[in-house]
């Protein structure tokens, strides 16, 4: 795929992406002496660097902030010899017959790799309001399971009407006093069973035809949300301390389109109980292949699986 004058480097294990999945894969691959190189992508540390406190990652009894946890994971990967490089995979050409895989980084450097572990993650979709960005991490969150606990016995709002929003609204309803659910149309996208659960939860108030137009705050934290009814154009302010956005995620898989099997929303498809993709020697772990759990610990778990599978793949190849 590449020009002749391009610099080529050969690796036994290339890891793309630096969230919990990528770093955990690196820890295992490095300890198995695969001498992994990890390319961080544009957001080194991944989605967790954009959150504040992480209280649900086992081992941190006192909790930890997302950025500190990612620095810890990076240091642990480096301790065993992982080389962490800032860079972005721009193009791939994978061998379908067990040969070497080619990955172009930053549009210039060419890597030849015997195994590739894809841990490019997913990106939460946001409404795009400046006030949403301002209070992100200070009352605004895209993960109820991660941050719901901080709003115990408080009033919160959630936007979205898919399965994620329905699931997160019912999760929040168990912790919070009241959950306003903002649905932009007059119906849900979520499955009937999930909608049924939402409508039968007494402390969830579903507001149809409702859109958040501004997150209100005191400069430090969220104090409310301004909501407009898109039929009547009437505006009202809800007093909430938490604002959850659950309008979907976009898996970071553009460069794999037409190369790796993916579902209709772009998530990579891995074989059952495995991180193997449809290409031998190419593995996928973390949120890029998981739209259901999306937790740091599940991402780390699949990162471990990917490294073990890469190691076994290389071993089988050298035995052949």
Nearer to ligand NDP, 184 or 226 (CB): 184
Q: Which entry of 147, 155, 287, 290 is annotated as an active-site residue?
A: 147
Element (DSSP H or E) covering residue 306: helix 296-319
Nearer to ligand NDP, 114 or 132 (CB): 132
Q: Would you call 147 a catalytic residue per the annotation?
A: yes
Inter-CA distances, 158 with 108, 127, 238, Å: 43, 12, 12
Q: Nearer to ligand NDP by C-beta: 37 or 238?
A: 238
Q: Cα(179)–Cα(168) distance, rounded to whole angstroms? A: 10
We find the least distance from the C-beta atom of residue 283 to ligand NDP, in angstroms, to be: 22
Residue 301 tokens, joined:
């778990």
13 among known catalytic residues: no
Q: Is 143 one of the catalytic residues? A: yes
Question: How many whole angstroms separate alpha carbon 210 and alpha carbon 185?
Answer: 7
**What angle is formed at CA 212 by the lines to CA 210 and CA 217, rounded to 5 degrees?**
145
DSSP-derived secondary structure letter, 39: E
Which residues, in sequence order, are CB contacts of 56 under 8 Å at separation 6+?
145, 146, 295, 296, 297
Compare residues 102 and 141 and give the one whose CB is closer to ligand NDP.
Answer: 141
Strand 122-124 and strand 140-141: the pairing is unpaired
CB of 163 to ligand NDP, least distance (A): 4
Q: Nearest approach, Cβ of 247 to ligand NDP (angstroms)? A: 4
- Minimal distance, residue 291 CB to ligand NDP, in Å: 4
User: What distance in Å separates the CA atoms of residue 267 and residue 261, rounded to the nearest whole number?
Assistant: 9
Least Å from the CB of residue 145 to ligand NDP: 11
Which residue lies nearer to ligand NDP by CB, 38 or 212? 212
Q: How many helices (H) and strands (E) does the chain have?
A: 7, 19
Helix spans in 151-286 (H): 163-175, 192-199
Tell me which of 13, 146, 176, 285 is the catalytic residue.
Answer: 146
Which of the following is catalytic: 143, 155, 163, 176? 143
- The DSSP code for 279 is S
Residue 35 or 291 having the CB closest to ligand NDP: 291
Q: CA nearest 227: which of 207, 242, 211?
A: 211
- The footprint of ligand NDP (CB under 6 A) covers 127, 159-165, 167, 184-185, 189, 247-248, 291-292
State in angstroms the smallest separation of the CB of 36 from ligand NDP.
30
Half-sphere exposure of 240 (CA within 13 A, CB side): 32
| Residue closest to ligand NDP (Cβ) | 162
Lookup: tokens for 194: 């999930």
H or E segment and range at residue 183: none
Catalytic residues: 143, 146-147
């Amino acid at each position: 795929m590449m020009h002749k004058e391009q610099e080529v480097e050969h690796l036994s294990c290339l890891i793309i992406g630096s969230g919990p999945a990528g770093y955990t894969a690196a820890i295992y691959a490095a300890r198995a002496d695969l001498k992994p190189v990890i390319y961080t992508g544009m957001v080194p540390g991944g989605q967790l660097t954009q959150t504040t406190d992480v209280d649900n990652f086992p081992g941190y009894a006192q909790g930890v902030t997302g950025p500190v946890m990612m620095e810890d994971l990076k240091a642990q990967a480096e301790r065993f010899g992982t080389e962490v490089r800032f860079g972005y995979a721009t193009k791939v050409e994978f061998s379908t017959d067990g040969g070497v895989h080619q990955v172009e980084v930053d549009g210039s450097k060419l890597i030849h790799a015997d195994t590739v572990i894809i841990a490019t993650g997913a990106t939460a979709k946001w409404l795009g309001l400046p006030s949403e960005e301002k209070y992100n991490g200070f009352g605004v969150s895209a993960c109820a399971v991660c941050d719901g606990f901080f709003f115990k016995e408080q009033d919160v709002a959630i936007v979205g009407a898919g399965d994620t929003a329905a699931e997160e609204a019912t999760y929040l309803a168990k912790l919070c006093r009241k959950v306003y659910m903002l649905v932009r149309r007059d119906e849900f996208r979520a499955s009937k069973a999930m909608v049924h659960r939402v409508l039968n939860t007494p402390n969830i108030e579903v507001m149809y035809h409702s859109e958040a137009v501004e997150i209100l705050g005191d400069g430090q934290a969220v104090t409310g949300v301004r909501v407009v009814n898109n039929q009547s154009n009437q505006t009202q302010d809800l007093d909430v301390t938490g604002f959850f956005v659950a309008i979907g995620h976009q898996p970071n898989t553009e460069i794999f389109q037409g190369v790796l099997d993916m579902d209709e929303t772009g998530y990579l498809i891995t074989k059952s109980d495995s991180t193997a993709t449809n290409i031998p020697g190419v593995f996928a772990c973390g949120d890029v292949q998981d739209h259901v759990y999306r937790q740091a610990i599940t991402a780390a778990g699949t990162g471990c699986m990917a490294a073990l599978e890469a190691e076994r793949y290389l071993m089988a190849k050298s035995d052949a």
